[in-house]
Each structure stands twice: as structure tokens, then as C-alpha cells.
């Protein structure tokens, strides 16, 4: 039995008990913040409808699993995580919160029956990743001194659908640290038959450093599979359509490579795109607000408005929480890696202005 730590974490309108490991920095940051800040889970209510059958691939500790389960109480979410220990924590979370519409499995998802090296990273379990068994990559890019490597055999989405006996799949979330294209290759039949909406991480750093994939090539392959591709502006902002033109792709890639390497894509087929199409932007804007009743605000303006509505004590506590989030970002691997790019971007702007 693993000795697990527990955190109270707010997801949508409910506080969950989430279990994790004391030596996992990602979990400890989640525990300190009391909420997941990388993505606004409430947006899932506009993407997933109640009764949907969903797959969460690369579930980690399950913040997205829980959010998906809330979005489809009459449906089900099947969560897959490559790390055995992390999966045990996720199963404990599901049991502790009494979720009957979520099930967790320990399996690496990718192409069918491919032998891979899996790097389990105890101090940053969200960074666990796979490379092909014949790859000469034998050290993790995250915490190489403490990461553990062992062999796993991947399971494809098509195999999962057959094993579970699913008659449909409505939504798939993919976050597998650079192996997203493997997952899509192993989901060809599922994508063709069921036309699910797919939300996937686009992580240029993982593509390049883990799988030696050129991000431009990865993006073009994704764009070729789906009828329409969107991304969330700055991950937590408005939904933006990524038009299939060279100029648009280049602008997206440039922003991705200079602003932290990570974006979340929402990929759709026409048959599953009706609700998104109803939220068309005005001619003046390329954004698609997820809540048409609420005009979009910048994060700064939204925070400022929220702080003014609090008592002095509550505002002070909120400021401390935001300072903690900022400290966690500045301590992250991606912040350190992108420092030269941020410096170059700032100095290029100054040179252009001069």
C-alpha cells in the first residue's frame, strides 16, 4: 500500500480529495494552490454533454478525469495513466470521492502493442514519458538522477475501445508528453467510426526533446486529421480557431515556441462541431467565447475585479495565493528553459522600436 498524501482541490463547483505523493512537486503545488490553474475546467461543460463516453489518456493524478466526470454524470470517463504508482493514487481519488462514472487503468497509450521505455519521474510525475525501445534515449529529460526507466508495452485507443466493448466514444483528452501522434495513429478506426471531439496538449518541448519531432510537422499532421482545430488562447482564454493557412500556422507556432511551449488544442469533426459553431465570433474578433453571456476579460482585469469584491483580509489571502502560483511558475522547468527565448523576444522588440 502506497503512503499517499491528500489535498483538497476545487474543480468547477466542487471540492475533491485528491491523492498524490509527498515527493511530487506538481502535486504539492496543486495542494498549496487548492485548485488546478493550467486549464479552466468549466469550459468542458461547453464541449462535453451529459451522457458522453470519454477517454482521459495521460490522466496523471486525475484533475481532468474529475472534471470530465462532472461534465458527464450520466456518461463515463475511462482514465489511463502509464505510471503504476500514479494510477494507484488516481484510483484512491476515485474511490474517496465516490465517483461511479470514472474508472482508472494503468497502461501507456500509443500505437498498438509497441515496446517502449517509460521514464517514471517521482519528483514530477506529470512529466512521465515514453520513447521507443530501440531509441538510444536512456535518461529522462526531467530529474534524470531520480527518474526510473522500465519497459512497457503500449495499448492503442482502438484496442481500448474493443476491450471495453464501447459502442461509441464522444470525447478524448490526450496529454502524453510528446507521444500524442502515436495515440492518434493508434486511434484511426475510433476516429473514423465515432468522430469524437479530441482535446490534446501541443507541447513543442516534448515533441523536440523527447521524441525528436519537428513541431511544424506535428501540427500539420493534426490539422490533416481533423476538419477543424481550435486552441485556447493562453490556455485559459477564449477558444480560437486555427485556420488552415500557412500564415496562421506560423503565427501559432511562433507564439507556442516563445510563450512556454504548451497549448491545448480542441480538434473536431463536422458531426461533433455543432455547439462550437453556434458560438461564432463577431466580424471584429477571431475569438469564440465559451460563455456568450459573459464578455471576455483579460486575466489581469478579471483578477482586479475579483479582488475589489473581497474584504481586505480575503484580498490579502488571494494576493498571497497568486504570489504562490507565480513562484511555482518561475520554479518550473519550462520557465527556466524559455528564459533565453523571453530575453531574445524582449531585446528584439527593443531593437525594432529603436
Each of the 354 residues of the chain gets a pLDDT tens digit; together they read 568 999 999 999 999 999 999 999 999 999 999 988 888 899 999 999 999 999 999 999 999 999 999 999 999 999 999 999 999 999 999 999 999 999 999 999 999 999 999 888 888 888 888 888 888 878 777 777 778 889 999 999 999 999 999 999 999 999 999 999 999 999 999 999 999 999 999 999 999 988 999 999 999 999 999 999 999 988 888 889 998 888 999 999 999 998 889 999 999 997 555 555 444 443 333 444 444 443 334 444 444 445 555 666 666 666 666 665 555 555 555 555 555 555 444 544 444 444
How deeply is 279 buried, as exposed, middle or buried, from its count of CB atoms within 10 A (0-12, 13-18, 19+)? middle
pTM score:
0.79
**Domain 5-296 listed as CATH 3.40.50.150:** yes
Cα torsion for 314, 315, 321, 326, to the nearest 10°? Answer: 180
Report yes or no: 252 and 294 within 8 Å, Cβ to Cβ: no
What is 235-254 written as a DSSP string? TTS-EEE--SSHHHHHHHHH
C-alpha cell at 169: 466514444
The single-letter DSSP state of residue 35 is B
Other beta carbons within 10 Å of 305: 10
In the chain, list all ranges with CATH 3.40.50.150.
5-296
d(CA 204, CA 212): 10
Q: Give Cβ neighbours of residue 112 (< 8 Å, ≥ 6 apart).
A: 154, 155, 156, 158, 159, 186
Q: What phi and psi, each to the nearest 5 degrees, are found at residue 233?
A: -60, 125
Q: What phi and psi, each to the nearest 5 degrees, are found at residue 14?
A: -140, 145
Radius of gyration of the chain (CA): 20
Report yes or no: 36 and 30 within 8 Å, Cβ to Cβ: yes
C-alpha cell at 4: 499517499
Q: What is the pLDDT of residue 237?
A: 84
Report yes or no: 211 and 179 within 8 Å, Cβ to Cβ: yes
Q: What is the pLDDT of residue 259?
A: 87
How far, CA to CA in Å, does 304 sit from each of 297, 309, 310?
11, 9, 10
SS3 113: coil
Looking at the DSSP assignment, which residues form a beta bridge with residue 18? 7
d(CA 48, CA 170): 8
Q: What is the pLDDT of residue 309?
A: 59
Residue 291: in which H helix or E strand, if any? none
d(CA 131, CA 111): 12
Amino acid at each position: 500500500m502506497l503512503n499517499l498524501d491528500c489535498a483538497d482541490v476545487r474543480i468547477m463547483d466542487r471540492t475533491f480529495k485528491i491523492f498524490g505523493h509527498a515527493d511530487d512537486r506538481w502535486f504539492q503545488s496543486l495542494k498549496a494552490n487548492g485548485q488546478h490553474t493550467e486549464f479552466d475546467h468549466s469550459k468542458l461543460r461547453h464541449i462535453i454533454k451529459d451522457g458522453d463516453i470519454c477517454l482521459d489518456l495521460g490522466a496523471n493524478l486525475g484533475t481532468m478525469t474529475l472534471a470530465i466526470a462532472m461534465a458527464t454524470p450520466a456518461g463515463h470517463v475511462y482514465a489511463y495513466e502509464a505510471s503504476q504508482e500514479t494510477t494507484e493514487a488516481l484510483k484512491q481519488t476515485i474511490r474517496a470521492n465516490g465517483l461511479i462514472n470514472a474508472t482508472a487503468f494503468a497502461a501507456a497509450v500509443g500505437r498498438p502493442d509497441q515496446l517502449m521505455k517509460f521514464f517514471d519521474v517521482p519528483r514530477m510525475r506529470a512529466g512521465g514519458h515514453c520513447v521507443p525501445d530501440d531509441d538510444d534515449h536512456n535518461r529522462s529529460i526531467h530529474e534524470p538522477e531520480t527518474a526510473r526507466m522500465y519497459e512497457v508495452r503500449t495499448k492503442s485507443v482502438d484496442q481500448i475501445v474493443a476491450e471495453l466493448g464501447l459502442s461509441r466514444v464522444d470525447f478524448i483528452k490526450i496529454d502524453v508528453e510528446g507521444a500524442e501522434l502515436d495515440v492518434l495513429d493508434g486511434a484511426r478506426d475510433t476516429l473514423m467510426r465515432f468522430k469524437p471531439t479530441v482535446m490534446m496538449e501541443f507541447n513543442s518541448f516534448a515533441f523536440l526533446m523527447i521524441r525528436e519531432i519537428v513541431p511544424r510537422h506535428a501540427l500539420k499532421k493534426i490539422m490533416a486529421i481533423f476538419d477543424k482545430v481550435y486552441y485556447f488562447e493562453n490556455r485559459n482564454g477564449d477558444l480560437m480557431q486555427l485556420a488552415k493557412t500557412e500564415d496562421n500556422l506560423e503565427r501559432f507556432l511562433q507564439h507556442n515556441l516563445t510563450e512556454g511551449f504548451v497549448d491545448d488544442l480542441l480538434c473536431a469533426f463536422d458531426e461533433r462541431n455543432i455547439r462550437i459553431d453556434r458560438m461564432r465570433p463577431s466580424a471584429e474578433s477571431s475569438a469564440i467565447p465559451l460563455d456568450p453571456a459573459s464578455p471576455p476579460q483579460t486575466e489581469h482585469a478579471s483578477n482586479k475585479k475579483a479582488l475589489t469584491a473581497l474584504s481586505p483580509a480575503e484580498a490579502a489571502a488571494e494576493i498571497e495565493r497568486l504570489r504562490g502560483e507565480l513562484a511555482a511558475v518561475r520554479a518550473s522547468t519550462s520557465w527556466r528553459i524559455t528564459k533565453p527565448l523571453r530575453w531574445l523576444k524582449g531585446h528584439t522588440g527593443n531593437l525594432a522600436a529603436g
